[in-house]
Amino acid sequence: MSLKDDHNIGETMLCAYADLQGGTLVMDDRDARKTAERYGLVVCGTMRLIALACARGDYTLAGASHITGAGC
């Protein structure tokens, strides 16, 4: 992975860690997600993570709406 500017340092560090240690990356930056997926890393967006938590019963729909600001 390459850095284009300082904005990508955090995403690059996360990808490097996931590449070494495994696991799922949680990131919402579209370009960073596409790059991570090209390198074979598993990526999940924040909204999907919240939806999965609701499906497991860890959050209620009202609680998830509060977290995401959708209830505003």
Q: Which residues make beta-bridge pairs with 43?
A: 25
Considering the entire predicted model, what is its pTM?
0.67
Distance CA 69, CA 23 (A): 27
pLDDT value of position 2: 55
Across 22-50, average pLDDT = 90
Look at residue 43 and tell me whether its pLDDT is greater than 90. Answer: yes
